[in-house]
């Protein structure tokens, strides 16, 4: 295996770990030496992306760029980042790096299209929802997007910020489940786990029984293929 994957991490650390684990678990390898070399910059200095987009918070781009350049210097052949909201800055970031980047939202949209979806529900942060980045990505594949109402969106933010990011395992998931039901009632054929904390939330809080698309998993598979690895 000759290719090297670079990960701009820290957004958040558990989501970074989840992506790395999915690269390992989805690579066809029979010994250590058949796995893919991965460089991770777990840059916890990157400011909150939602605050930057919606509340004029500190711009995360400079720190993201520092991470990207560090990974370039180490010899990464492709760079990926496990944060949906950070993809609001994707074009500006990738334009300042020499190393190619893979867009997580676009690979998720491709997967949704291949799965036969023509309308999906978006579970994501306020920043991701209000920036319209998923509507744009899905629109390229002729897929419509639907979103929770105010109460449902609050529940999504709660499970992300007051659940996974704080490490709580006993959060009340009833409001979040109501948000899922709302999206299904709006005709969503699948739910996009549009925040990299959400696949972790579904596992930790034992949320199942609904069709989902995990952008982190699709990003991991795309990165494996990019460096000529074999996906299980």
Active site residues: 83, 195
Report the side by side order of strands in the sheet with 78-80: 37-42, 4-9, 78-80
Q: Is the dihedral of CA 143, 108, 14, 59 positive or negative?
A: negative
At residue 201, the 3 state secondary structure works out as helix
Cβ 71 vs Cβ 39: under 8 Å: yes
DSSP codes, 174-188:
HHHHHHHHHHHHTT-
Beta bridge partners of 4: 37
| C-alpha 211 chain-centroid distance | 17
Residue 32 to residues 2, 27, 63, 133, 196, Cα–Cα distance (Å): 14, 11, 32, 37, 27
Residue reference for tokens 């029979």 = 30
- Rounded to an integer, what distance in angstroms lies between the CA atom of residue 216 and that of residue 168? 21
Contacts of 2 (CB under 8 A, 6+ apart): 227, 228
């Amino acid at each position: 295996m000759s290719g090297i994957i670079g990960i701009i991490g820290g957004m958040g650390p558990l989501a970074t770990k989840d992506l790395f684990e999915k690269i390992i678990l989805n690579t066809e390898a029979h010994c250590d030496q058949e796995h893919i070399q991965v460089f991770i910059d777990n840059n916890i200095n990157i400011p909150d992306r939602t605050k930057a987009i919606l509340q004029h918070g500190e711009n995360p781009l400079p720190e993201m760029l520092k991470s990207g350049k560090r990974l370039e210097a180490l010899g990464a052949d492709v760079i990926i980042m496990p944060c949906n909201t950070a993809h609001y800055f994707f074009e500006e970031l990738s334009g300042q790096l020499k190393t190619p980047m893979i867009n997580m939202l676009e690979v998720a949209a491709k997967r949704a299209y291949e799965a036969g979806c023509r309308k999906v529900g978006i579970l994501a942060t306020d920043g991701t929802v209000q920036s319209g980045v998923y509507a744009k990505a899905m629109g390229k594949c002729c897929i419509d997007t639907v979103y929770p109402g105010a109460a449902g969106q609050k529940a999504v933010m709660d499970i992300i910020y007051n659940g996974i990011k704080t490490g709580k395992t006993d959060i009340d998931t009833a409001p979040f489940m109501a948000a899922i039901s709302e999206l299904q009632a709006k005709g969503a054929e699948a739910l996009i786990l549009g925040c990299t904390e959400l696949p972790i939330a579904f596992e930790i809080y034992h949320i199942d029984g609904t069709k989902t698309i995990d952008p982190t998993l699709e990003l991991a598979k795309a990165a494996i293929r990019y460096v000529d690895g074999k996906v299980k």
